Chain A
Amino acid sequence: MKIEWLSIDRVRPYPHNPRKNIETIDKVKTSIQRYGFNQPIVVDPQMFIVVGHTRYAAAKELGLAEVPVVIADLDEKRARAYRIMDNKAHDFTRWDVVDLKKEIEKLPDVEATGFSLKQLDDILFPELALIGKNNQHRRQHHIIVECASREDMNAVETLIRGKGFKRCRQSWH
C-alpha cells in the first residue's frame, strides 16, 4: 500500500456509484476543515473512485488541489464489488447509545460530532430516544410503484409527496 498526494483532477468519480452521498457531503467538509484529510481515497488503476466519493466531493467543494490516494490493484469487476461491499459493511454497524451518550457528554462542542441538537436531546434524555431502538442493522425501505406513463408517474408522485413522502425518484426504461 502506498499513499500518494495527487491532483484532484486525476481522480474520477465512478459514474454508476450505487451509493448516494449528497446529504453527507457537508458533514465531511466540516470534518476535513476541522480535522484534516485522514482517510485516503481508494481508486482502481483507472483512477475511478472505489472508496471515498463523499471525501472527493467534499474536497472539490473546499477547492483542494490535491488529495491523498491509494491505488488498489483491483480489476474492474472486483473494484465494483468492493465498492458495494465497503458500503454494505457500514450498514451493519450501529451505535451503543449508552456509550455514545457518555462520549458526547464529555465534549465541550457536542455539535462537532455531526449530531444535531435535536438528536443529542434524544440521546441525552433517553425517554425521548429514537436512535438505537432497533438492534438490527440499518435497512432501507422502499415502495416501487408501477405507472402507466410519464404523466401517470408525475401524478402519482404528486399524490405520494402530498402524503409526506419526500424522497421519490422517477425511473424509466
Chain B
Amino acid sequence: METVTAPDKPRPIRRLQIGANVVLQIVLLLFLAAMVNYLGFEHYRRWDFSRDKKYALSDKTKRVLGTLKSKLRITVFFAPETPITNDVQNLLT
C-alpha cells in the first residue's frame, strides 16, 4: 500500500525563467528558418513539366552556354506589346 503524503504548498512557478526560455526558443526558430531560407534561395532547382518545354533552355542553348569562357552580359530590348515579351521575361527570371 502506497502512503499518500499531503502535498505541501504549491511552489510558485518561475515566470521570468519560462518567459526567457520561450523568447530563446522563438529566436532560435526564427534564426533556423532564416538560415534554411537563405540556403534555399542560394541553391535551388527548377524543373519544367510543361509539355513543350517552353520555359526551359534547349540543349543547343545549354551547349553554347557551356562553351563560354567568361561572364557575358546580354541586354535585350523589347516593346511590351510584342507577343513573346512575356515568354522571354519568364525565361530570364
Asked whether A and B interact, the reply is: no
